[in-house]
Amino acid sequence: NIVNQLAQKVEGLTLDGLAQKYPTAHPEINPLDLYRAHLSDVLSKISGVETSIIYPVVMWTQSLDKGDFVVAVPALRIKGKKADVLAQEWAEKFPEDDPLFDKPVLSGHFMSFFVKGEPLTESIIPLVRKAGTDFGKNRFNGLRDPKDLSSGKKRIIVEFSSPNVAKPFHAGHLRSTIIGSFIANLYEANGWDVVRMNYLGDWGKQYGLLALSYERNGNEEELNKNPIDHLFKLYVQINAEMSAEKEAIEEQKKEGKDVSALEANSLDEQARQYFRRMTDRDEAVLAQWQRFRDLSIARYKGKWASFANGVGLFLHHFNFHLPHIHPQTYSRLNIQFDEFSGESQVSEESMSKVADEMKEKNISREDKGAVLVDFTQLLPGKEGKRLGTTVLRKRDGTALYLTRDVCELLGRYEKYNFDHMIYVVASQQDLHLKQLFQIIELLGYKDIAKKCQHINFGLVLGMSTRKGTVKFLDDILKDCADHMHETMKKNEEKYAQVENPDATADTLGISSVMVQDMSGKRINNYTFNMEAMTSFEGDTGPYLQYAHARLCSIKRRANLTDEDLDSANLSLLKEDHAVNIVRMLSQWPDVLQNTLKTLEPTTVLTYLFKMTHVISSSYDHLQVVGSERELMKSRMALYDAARSTLANGMRILGLTPLERM
Ligand code: ARG
């Protein structure tokens, strides 16, 4: 046992004893837990402060030059002496010959601790090799009882992407897709049972609009021949007509004319009425809907079978063209949904049940035939004001977005009995989700409301185009891929060795988009910048891929076997550059666990870039190919551990690590 060997270096330390004293520590997964525990033991002996107080304030550092851990003495809350005086006293008493740490470095009341290279190197590299793709994952974090492996996993629903069918898939959906998939991967790596859910906006006036278009301009023969293309054409056509009509009405309004007759007869109004017939379960209308669906199924069955999921199947065909996302886009992005739910799946029955409940509990009230929730009356003070008043059901009886969400949420709880649920939705919908969670609470389901969380994000600027020229997501990805393909071709020799240049360029393009998206905090807006994100300079997707591919290339050239690497003499890795790489790698389990608190992709990304910088600055100092054989083996073992940790991090982010490019 690798970690046992590490424990044996410390007199009196056993893994069992450590587990008793530090129940949250899991050194077999995260060796740094052993370091923290040992440090707490030593500091406790010196200071007399209890280990349970020290352990939680042993913090990680921003960069390697600041040490591996730092303790702010004031955090220990000792009365009497000044913190910097205490720090000095304790530093003096810190044993010279500690097996794991050098003597602390002081800066005011901060004590910085640097690990000794050799013991860390000899535990981390073998651990990374043994754990492989599991290195860093923590199966304890997601347990119902973190001390009991048989207690079962907690369950989380991550709802993300959720585009609107028959409307464009816009940048907001792209961000939701990227961030949501990352959050799902993160929880999975931390031992949760994850349900990935796509809640399609698949019900509403836009369907009425489509059907209307078919009534006006549809062609039976064309529909049979190629339903998807034909329906798409119809959709585009009616949207154009509707925009023109709206403009005309606006003109007349400006001229002071009465437009009520025009409005009552408008395409928009007709679509609304058509949709009303759908919600009323008008048979003829639903049969039409069914027909579009069946035709699409027949046409695409083989191809999309894996996405089939009840009504969902049809919707995905719309998805294919109408919201400008190809179902395969999800697999290009390494995403697989467990469930495609959608607004159309919320039954009228469940909605009227909830409506009754809300009336009974005096949450909603009627106003001229519409049903409202007035938070300003329900909640005192600021909170009520912030949430305002909202409509649940329109005067014509159609239930709205919010009502569907209320029912859907309760339905999901019934079906999955989740411990937590995350909605990954743009910050434009902050109010909507606050209202949703508040209604759930007002209904008396406080416990369920507490389990729900909105993860929001800012806008992508420079991507929304003037009307009529919606950018297709697949086109954007393709543009980036083409751009990367051109760049790859510039190095003819390398290019010739890439097995599948198209796929590689595609992956690079996707990496560019994703890394740019994940570079800042979620809430920040950012500007879509093709030049910047496809560059190899700076912290970009292509740079990250290059860093990985370079490690792969060293491995190919070194041409050593697994046994060679397993038997490498790791005590040869004495250089600071080597130890620094190991120190970076050792942080990965901490990073992965800490990211659960931030839920920010940038927490992982920043770590990966720091790691690649430490690696790239080592190349001149730690030659592999050309070095003496034993040295070559040990250095290769080091770089291979780095490669595998980098790849693990990239996969959490949803990137596909490339071996050649
Ligand atoms: N389809 C919605 C939109 O595009 C997003 C859905 C968010 N999820 C939810 N449960 N409301 O705006």
Per the CB < 8 A criterion, the answer to whether 105 and 68 are in contact is no
Counting atoms of ligand 1 from 1, which one is nearest the CA of 401?
A: 11
* DSSP per-residue string spanning 163-217: PBTTS---HHHHHHHHHHHHHHHHHHHTT-EEEEEEEEB--SHHHHHHHHHHHHH
Q: How far apart are the first and last CA of the chain?
A: 38
Phi, psi dihedral angles at 460 (to 5 degrees): -100, 120
Name the residue among 630, 640, 627, 624 with its Cα closest to residue 581. Answer: 640
Below-70 pLDDT ranges, the chain: 165-169, 228, 293-329, 464-474
> What is the identity of the amino acid at 623?
Q
- Taking the centre of ligand 1 as the mean of its atom positions, its distance from the CA of residue 475, in whole angstroms, is 23
In angstroms, the CA 581 to CA 134 distance is: 19
User: For residues 615-625, b (16+ Cβ closer than 10 Å) or e, as one string?
Assistant: beebeeebebe
Of all protein residues, whose CA lies closest to atom 1 belonging to ligand 1? 201
Name the residue among 478, 540, 543, 549 with its Cα closest to residue 509. Answer: 478
Distance from chain centroid for Cα 192: 14
User: For residues 313-327, b (16+ Cβ closer than 10 Å) or e, as one string?
Assistant: bbbbbbbbbbbbbbb
Name the residue among 61, 64, 63, 2 with its Cα closest to residue 34. Answer: 2
- From 174, 425, 454, give the residue whose CB has the most ligand 1 atoms within 8 Å, as the site to mutate: 425
- Taking the centre of ligand 1 as the mean of its atom positions, its distance from the CA of residue 362, in whole angstroms, is 27
Per the CB < 8 A criterion, the answer to whether 90 and 97 are in contact is no
Residues 6+ apart with CB under 8 A from 57: 71, 72, 75, 76
- Taking the centre of ligand 1 as the mean of its atom positions, its distance from the CA of residue 432, in whole angstroms, is 10
Counting atoms of ligand 1 from 1, which one is nearest the CA of 200?
A: 1
C-alpha pair distances (Å), 89 with each of 50, 77, 95, 366, 655: 17, 16, 12, 72, 48
In angstroms, the CA 482 to CA 474 distance is: 12
Tell me how crowded residue 486 is: count the other CB atoms within 10 A of its CB: 11
- Taking the centre of ligand 1 as the mean of its atom positions, its distance from the CA of residue 188, in whole angstroms, is 23
- Taking the centre of ligand 1 as the mean of its atom positions, its distance from the CA of residue 393, in whole angstroms, is 18
Counting atoms of ligand 1 from 1, which one is nearest the CA of 408?
A: 10
Distance from chain centroid for Cα 325: 19
In angstroms, the CA 467 to CA 517 distance is: 24
Looking up tokens 């086109």, which residue turns up? 475
Of all protein residues, whose CA lies closest to atom 5 belonging to ligand 1? 162
139's tokens: 């199966």
pLDDT at 204: 75
- From 158, 159, 162, give the residue whose CB has the most ligand 1 atoms within 8 Å, as the site to mutate: 162
Of all protein residues, whose CA lies closest to atom 6 belonging to ligand 1? 162
Q: Give the active site residues.
A: 167, 170, 173
Per the CB < 8 A criterion, the answer to whether 71 and 35 are in contact is no
User: For residues 197-231, b (16+ Cβ closer than 10 Å) or e, as one string?
Assistant: bbbbbbbbbbbbbbbbbbeeebeeeebeeebbebb
- Taking the centre of ligand 1 as the mean of its atom positions, its distance from the CA of residue 172, in whole angstroms, is 10
One-letter-per-residue 3-state SS of 389-403? EEEEECCCCCECHHH
Counting atoms of ligand 1 from 1, which one is nearest the CA of 432?
A: 11
Ligand 1 pocket, residues with Cβ under 6 angstroms: 159, 162, 164, 199, 201, 405, 423, 425
* DSSP per-residue string spanning 444-455: T-HHHHHTEEEE
In angstroms, the CA 636 to CA 641 distance is: 8
622's tokens: 């730690």
Per the CB < 8 A criterion, the answer to whether 153 and 163 are in contact is no
In angstroms, the CA 297 to CA 430 distance is: 36
> What is the identity of the amino acid at 376?
T
For strands 69-72 and 59-60, give the pairing: antiparallel
Counting atoms of ligand 1 from 1, which one is nearest the CA of 409?
A: 10
Say yes or no: ipTM exceeds 0.95: yes
pLDDT at 189: 98
In angstroms, the CA 401 to CA 200 distance is: 12
